[in-house]
Structure 1
Amino acid sequence: MARSDARHRLARERAREALLQAAIEVFSERGVAGSSIAEITQRAGNAQGLVNYHFGGKDQLVAAVIDRWFETVLGFAQVDGTPDEALAAVIDGALTATAYALPLQRAVLAMQQQPATHRLFAESEARHEDAAKAAEDAVRELFRARGAADPALEEIMLRSTLEGIFVKFAVFGATYPLEDARRWMHQRYGLPEPTTPIAPPVRLHDGERRPRATGILDSGA
């Protein structure tokens, strides 16, 4: 009986995760307003009623996507090593997520700005307030250990730079020199040059760098 319960629990967890991943993809492609529960459940391969069962409705599904984003980005600051090693890991973790979790980042970026979903973002932010403060404080301590005159401002500007890189990558795609930007950041903070590429690999750009949204026309995306 216990084994059967465990199988049912695992099946429920898989169904919920499939719906969450499908929602991330659809919200990224169409925005929240342009997305339907029917499309999300079809992509997940689940019955439409399972959204209400697992989440309670569309707003709660949106909130779950935002929660997943917070859980992802707040993990960047939880690193070990010397201050320089830890700062490099924060930068590389954020840029790896930019390359790897683009649909999630793109979906939540829109949610941050749209009036219809901004409140849901703010509510999720409130749920993660303690973790957000802990992550900010961890990065500020890195800058303090490196001798920064204003660790709080350094943390804010680092976060702003990383978020700016994401926005540009979301707009310009493969034409944006993400690996080059990573190496620039290492140089900006006096960190060793990376010896391995971020994962998934993003090539260094040869020749003149000119990010263009028209890259999507060539990729067929």
Structure 2
Amino acid sequence: MARSDEQNRLARERARENILQAAIEVFSERGVSGASVAEITRRAGVAQGLVSYHFGGKEQLIVAVIDAWFDALFSIPEVSGAADDRLAGIIDGVLMATGYALPVQKVVLAMQQQPATHRLYAEAEDRFHERAIQSEESVRDIFRARGAVDPELEEIMLRGTLEGVLLKFAVYGDTFPLEDARRWMYRLYGIPAPETPLPLELPPRQVPLRLRASGAVRDPQR
């Protein structure tokens, strides 16, 4: 029996999403330069020609990964309520994204820095300019409500601190104390300590605490 137009549409969407997810995995494991379209489509379980059909080629696939990251970043739900509650919600939202979506975070972090992909990242940033402005102003409004002398600098430093946590977690993995970092940031901003930990599967904190890159090594067969 022939498939309906709706079934064909859903199949195309699934194939595109599978390719995108496979690209994130392969880019994370091999780096962008070391990843091939053949490996990505093999991992996705689709024909190699579908990359051209859905994206146009490897560079456009890289762009799609960056765009998906920006879209997810600016879609983190904002907590309502007092300024402290909103600030805590931002901290938790970013740390949750760090814990849940580490492969894509690592991939985009690398793309920000590598000369071959920095241009693509900068172009994507331009495409998301308006959403970035809205996000920045929302955070600056929180600091204005908290009575900050320089809300713009406070927003930049908050973003830099959270990006630093992401970088360290990407490098050191399970040896990085993500929950402790969260509570440290609460203390930094004078926010009451959270009553419950983040809903992430995090190992107990090591004693003594030592950051080791081996904590981020993953068996590709797992």
| Bin of the TM-score, shorter chain as denominator length | over 0.9
User: Equivalent residue of 2:32, what SS?
Assistant: coil
CA distance 1:82–1:102, change in 2 (3 Å): same
- CA-atom RMSD, angstroms? 1.6
Q: What corresponds to 1:153 in structure 2? A: 153
Tell me how far apart the structure 1 counterparts of residues 185 and 48 of structure 2 sit (CA, whole Å).
Answer: 45
Moved more, 80-89 or 190-199: 190-199
Work out the CA distance in 2 between the residues paired with 1:77 and 1:148.
Answer: 23
Question: Does the aligned pair in 2 maintain the 1:180–1:204 contact within 8 Å?
Answer: no
* Map of 1:87 onto structure 2: 87
Distance 1:216 1:160, change over 3 A: closer
Q: 1:201 to 1:216 in 2, by over 3 A?
A: closer
For residue 65 of structure 1, report the CA deviation from its aligned partner. Answer: 0.3
TM-score by length of 2: 0.93
Q: Name the counterpart of 2:23.
A: 23
> Which structure 2 segments of 5+ residues have no match?
none
2:71 is aligned to 71
Counterpart CA distance in 1 for 2:74 and 2:167 is: 18
With over 3 angstroms needed to count, the CA separation of the structure-2 counterparts of 1:120 and 1:25, relative to structure 1, is same
In the alignment, structure 1 segments of 5+ residues that lack a partner are none
> Which residue matches 1:188?
188
Runs of 4+ off more than 6 Å: none
Question: How many residues matched?
Answer: 218
**TM-score normalised per structure 1:** 0.94
CA–CA separation in structure 2 for the residues paired with 1:46 and 1:53: 12
Is residue 110 from structure 1 mapped to residue 95 from structure 2 by the alignment?
Answer: no
Check the 8 A contact 1:77/1:138 in 2, yes or no.
no
**Alpha-carbon distance in structure 2 between the residues aligned to 1:146 and 1:7:** 52
* Greater mean alpha carbon deviation, residues 205-214 or residues 73-82: 73-82
Q: Superposition pairs for residues 106-185 of structure 1, below 5 Å? A: 106-185=106-185
Q: Distance in 1 between matches of 2:68 and 2:56?
A: 17
- Partners in 1 of 2:39 and 2:193 — Cα distance? 44
| Aligned residue in 1 for 2:13 | 13
8 A contact 2:37–2:58 mirrored in 1: yes
3-state SS in 2 of match to 1:80? coil
Give per-residue Cα distances to partners, 1:93-127, cap 9 Å, x unaligned: 10011111100000011111111111110110010
Secondary structure at the aligned position of 2:119 is classed as helix
Letter aligned with residue 59 of structure 2 = D
Amino acid at match of 1:5: D
Q: Using the aligned pairs only, state the percent identity.
A: 61
